[in-house]
Amino acid sequence: MVDGMKGPCDALVRVGASSGKDGFSHEPVRVIGNHRIGRHQILGLAYLGYVLGQLQHHLPAVGTLVRAGERPCRVKLTSRYKEVRSMVAVLRAWSEESTADAPPVILNKHCPECPYRVDCYEQAEREDNLSLLDRMTPRLLRKYHQKGVFTVNQLSYMFRPRRSRRKAKPPVRHSLELQAMAIRTGKIYIEQMPVLPRHLVELYVDIEGNPDRDSYYLIGLLVCEGDEVRHHFWWADGVEEEQIWLVFVETASAFPDAPIYHYGSYERKAFQMLAKRYGRGAEISKRLVNVAASVYGKVYFPVRSNGLKVLGRFVGATWTYPEASGLMSLVWRHRWEMTKAEQHRLALIQYNHEDCEAVRLLVEKLRQIGRNADSETTIDFAHRPKQNATDLGRGVHRQFERILRYAQQNGHERSLRIRPEDLTTESKRKKKGAPKGHQAYQRIVPERAGRIVAVTSKRKCPRHHKALVPDSEQLAEREGCGSVPPFASDQVFAAGWPK
């Protein structure tokens, strides 16, 4: 231990001479329990080298990782020390803070391995923490905190349905706001309708393996023909991986037209690797249907994760062992390899069977959503919410829909416009006369007669330009002219009357 840092090391290797007091230096050695080296294991070795460097005043350039059943692997550490220093600085700042408050709870993918996960989950539940959502990253968490959003309930009110105007098909993305709204309302929201047609025969597969060794030891298969469901499984004690793969390929080939449903990308990668490794079964990969692709970004269930265990429990699937998970399957397999106890083998077979059944129930649920999306009140559309109303309300909605539909046809020619000033009784009427800019714009038209103007009577017919009868007491008549008003003296016109 040095300067408040403690680094338990499995072994030290003496290397060439240095400028230290003793004339030599050491390199750290760490023993790990798996076959594949991960980033966090390299960082752990670099931390040991950093602590060791504080003691010997010289940072070791190389360290050694001893893998399970493999030869030791030497790892260069020089490029890792910068990251280790930043991590140590953060930890040191936390330790020097005088506050007694614990750091904020942020759930992540390492929580299943942590001994304090139960306490953290309980606190996150009480706070309605944003990190409860499975796809919440630290970057998104900071973004929402800057906007003043700290709970899942608050996040649910940030979703705004919008109608896309782009002609191109938008990319499929997962909306955390919509997922939060589904949790708050308890509804299933549809972004894109799931399309999973039914076939006479359908296959549901799940495979168990050890990613650290790139090996597979259990393949489970459900064969559904109508209402009949049969379960098959193939178990490998050790080196029988090729045998169980060939038997599975033969069984699946007996139903050449049946789709093979699975959940997630693990099965597709496993089948491609096994087909390449043993030279058979390449056609199986072409029949695989990833059910997760029909859920991600398309159907939002009122749950916090799109994992098979969470969705499976929502659609009615159950697991015999409450702790059943992919991580626990590795534990069961390791215990079986150590003890050969039958209970661990049966637990794995049961867990694999229940995973296949969960995929089948999820496919049936997606088909039910596609059939009943318009009628079920627990299902809604993300960007086109349904209008749930009574029979009378639905009739009113249909009438308005007809009005809007027919109003769109030649609406600019047949539209009726109402201006705001026409709605008020006190609005001024439009002023009579020529419009502004016209040469007669200043002409004033009186509202009523205000003076009398005497005009000399006409002595000639305005049509034939011939003299009329000068007697003003009688009507002046002329063939073809009709009658002329008896104005003997000056004709009288009111101002504003036409002459």
Per-residue pLDDT reduced to its tens digit, 154-169: 999 999 877 666 656 7
Q: How many CA atoms lie within 13 A of 359 on its CB side?
A: 27
Is 8:42 a contact under the CB 8 Å cutoff?
no
Whole-number pLDDT of residue 489:
42
Of the ranges 56-60, 187-191, 420-424, the best mean pLDDT one: 187-191
pLDDT of 84-130, one tens digit each?
A: 999 989 888 877 776 667 778 889 888 888 888 899 999 999 999 99
Mean pLDDT estimate for the chain = 83
Question: What's the pLDDT tens digit per position in 174-219?
Answer: 999 999 999 999 999 999 999 999 999 999 999 999 988 889 999 9
pLDDT score recorded for residue 497: 45
Q: What is the mean pLDDT of residues 39-67?
A: 90
Amino acid identity at 469: V
**Token pair listed for 193:** 């309708």
Average pLDDT over residues 425-440: 62
pLDDT of residue 495: 43
Measured CA distances, 457 to 80, 86, 489, 498 (Å): 117, 112, 6, 14
β-pair partners for 477: 483
What does the pLDDT look like over 481-497, one tens digit per residue?
444 444 444 444 444 44
Residue 419 has pLDDT above 70, yes or no: no
- 192-210 burial, b at 16+ Cβ within 10 Å, e below that, comes to eebebeeeeebbbbbbbbb
Least confident of 67-71, 338-342, 454-458: 454-458
| CATH architecture under which domain 201-381 falls | 2-Layer Sandwich (3.30)
Label residue 319 by pLDDT band (50, 70, 90). Answer: very high
For 254, what's the count of Cα atoms within 13 Å in the CB-facing half-sphere? 8
Q: Are 60 and 28 contacting, i.e. CB atoms less than 8 angstroms apart?
A: yes
State residue 483's pLDDT score: 44
Residue 436: HSE in the Cβ half-sphere, 13 Å Cα cutoff: 2
Q: What's the pLDDT at 474? A: 46
pLDDT confidence bin for 443, thresholds 50/70/90: low
- What does the domain layout of the chain look like in residue ranges? 11-96, 113-159+174-186, 201-381, 449-499
User: Which percentage of the chain shows pLDDT scores above 90?
Assistant: 48
Per-residue pLDDT, 349 = 96
Query: Which pLDDT score, from 0 to 100, does residue 476 have?
Result: 44
Specify the pLDDT at position 108. 87
What is the percent of the chain where pLDDT is above 70? 80
